[in-house]
Structure formats: structure tokens, C-alpha cells
Structure 1
């Protein structure tokens, strides 16, 4: 697989490194309160890719998953706390990787916004 065929990323401490095969089905900002709390930000930002193309290249033992709902699982590095992905047990063929962990930064468009009714009023205007 060539570099142009996948996204790659890592956690803050560098202990976890991964790659995810393209294409990205869509990228999104999720304003649900669970994403806000986990990310400590206005939204969780994700690229939705095929689970079959997601490979942890280093640090698999550092990844912990938290069951944030009946169907949602949030993966993070237990050493530094970086949020790495969100996945649904109802759609095991897909995984949503966090845009902020990608290297280089994600260059594609963000096409979707989820739970906009929870979008914080303190976000800056365009």
C-alpha cells in the first residue's frame, strides 16, 4: 500500500501509531455531549473509514476502549489520553478515526455535522 492510499496518525505520546486505508466515506464534526466531554472541545471530529483497512502499527496494548453507550465504543491511549477512534457495534464494518490525530493533517472536506442542537454558543462565528 502506498502512502497516498491511506491516512496515518498517532496519539500525543507517540505510543500508538495507526494507518487507515482510503477512501474516507465522510468526515464529520459531532456536537453530542459525549463527544464534547471526551474531547474537552466543542465537537469530536472524525473521518469515517472501513474497519478492515484500520491497522494499529504500534502500541495496540496501550489502546483502551470505553463503552460510552449501548452501541458506541471510544478508543483512547491509556498512557496520554488521546482519543483515537469511535466505533459502533451496530456498524462493525466502519470506524471513525479522530481528525486531530492524523499526520499530516486531514486535507479533505468535512461534509457532516451531527447533533448541531448541542453546538456551543461560544464557538466563534466565521
Structure 2
């Protein structure tokens, strides 16, 4: 599976299998991407191979325990890593040029979703402190 940033300066290959895929509604993801939510998937770090070694990937500490990897040239946020998931790399699904080996299975931090989007799919809705506790849907049409 192949992916890249907007300008192509950071290109990478991901060796399957992936571990999971989910839409994240946390505040940090929304701000980092300027979007209502971000769709991620996770793999073991060693399953990702950068195609260029030109120092275009920069890591920003977005919290005490997490960092976001982005392109120094175009600003695309591509990766996330955290002490919470040691050895795992999270990759923005929208940066993939090829399909991945699984469907998105959940909304995490759904209890923090923006109020200006109302029509969500029927995927599992998770929230709470760690973003992964099952929730009763906020939208009565989804119950």
C-alpha cells in the first residue's frame, strides 16, 4: 500500500496487515487537520517504509505523550505516534493512494464531535476519557 503527502515530498509504503481504522473526533485531530474529524489507521511502526530520506518529515509534539508527523514543504499531517501505543504508527487514511486492507470500524472520541455535522453512519460510537468507551448515541436517529 502506497501513500504520500500533498506535494509528494514524503512518500511511504505500508506493509499489511493494518491493526484498525477509525474516525477520530478529538479536539487535537480537528485542529491539526482543520476538519470535523480525521480518519486514521494503525500499523506496527516497522511496517512503514519512507521512500525518501530527505528530511522532509518533521515531528511536532502535539501533547505530552503524542507527536504528529507532517511534511515540512506542504504541511500535510500524515502520521501520529504516542507513548500510549508504543511501537505503533497511526497514518491518515486520506494520504493513502492505495486502498487499505480493512474498512473503518468506529468513531472514537465521538462524545466530542462537532455540533455542525449531524448525519453520521451506523459505525460504533466510542468516547470517554480514552475515546474508546462505548457510548449511547447522541443522535436519537442512530439508537
TM range (shorter): 0.7 to 0.9
User: Which one of 68, 71, 79 corresponds to residue 77 of structure 1?
Assistant: 71
Q: Which has the higher strand share?
A: 1
- Give the structure with higher Rg (CA): 2
- For structure 1, list consecutive stretches of 5 or more residues without a partner in the other structure: 1-6
Q: Which runs of structure 1 show a deviation greater than 6 angstroms over 4 or more consecutive aligned residues?
A: none
The residue matched to 1:100 in structure 2 has which SS? helix
Aligned length: 120
- TM-score after normalising by structure 2: 0.77
The structural deviation recorded for 1:23 is 0.7
- TM-score after normalising by structure 1: 0.87
Q: Which has the higher helix share?
A: 1
The structural deviation recorded for 1:104 is 2.3
The residue matched to 2:55 in structure 1 has which SS? helix
- For structure 2, list consecutive stretches of 5 or more residues without a partner in the other structure: 121-143
Distance 1:118 1:30, change over 3 A: same
Give RMSD over aligned pairs: 1.6
User: Which one of 115, 121, 124 corresponds to residue 115 of structure 2?
Assistant: 121
